[in-house]
Amino acid sequence: MNATYIKEWLPPKLIPILRRFGHQSLRFEGGYSSWDAAVSSSNGYSQSDILSQVACATRRVIAGEVAYDRDGFVFEDVDYSYPLVSMLMHAALLNAGKLNVIDFGGALGSTYRQCLPLLGSVRQIFWQVIEQEHYVDLGKSEFEDHCLSFHKGLEDTTVDAGGKRVLLLSSVIQYLRYPEAEIRRLIDCGISHVIIDRTPMHDVLGHKLCVQRIPKKLGGGSYPCWILSKPEILKLFPRPWKLLAEFPCLDGRWRSDDGLNFEYRGLCFVIDKNA
Instruction: Encode pLDDT of 170-189 as tens digits.
Output: 999 999 999 999 999 998 87
Tell me what percent of the chain is helix, strand and coil, each rounded to the nearest 5.
Answer: 35, 30, 35
pLDDT at 5 over 50: no
Residue type, 7: K
- pLDDT bracket for residue 219 (50, 70, 90): low
Cis previous bond, 238, omega within 30? no
9 pLDDT tier (thresholds 50, 70, 90):
very low
pLDDT class of 62 with cuts at 50, 70, 90: very high
Q: Could you tell me the CA-to-CA distances from 197 to 90, 246, 275 in Å, in that order? A: 15, 10, 25
Domain count for the chain, please give it.
Answer: 1
- Who contacts 244 (Cβ-Cβ below 8 Å, separation ≥6)? 87, 90, 193, 268, 269, 270
Which residue, among 142, 170, 175, 146, has the nearest Cα to 55 in the 3D structure? 142
- Whether the per-residue pLDDT at 159 is higher than 80: the answer is no
Distance of CA 89 to the CA centre of its chain: 18
Instruction: Report pLDDT digits (tens) over 132-147.
Output: 999 999 999 999 999 9
Residue 242 CA to residue 116 CA, distance in Å, equals: 27
- Say which amino acid occupies 272: D
The CATH number covering residue 33 comes to 3.40.50.150
What confidence tier does 11 reach under pLDDT thresholds 50, 70, 90? low
C-alpha torsion sign, points 196, 135, 221, 77: positive
Are 153 and 4 in contact by the 8 Å Cβ rule? The answer is no
- Using a pLDDT cut of 70, give the percent of the chain over it: 87
Decide if 108 contacts 135 (C-beta within 8 A): yes
Domain assignment of residue 34, given as a range: 3-271
Q: Residue 266 in 3-state DSSP? A: strand
Res. 121: pLDDT tops 60: yes
**CA dist., res. 151 & res. 162, Å (int):** 20
pLDDT class for 228, splitting at 50, 70, 90?
very high
Element (H, E) at 53: helix 47-62
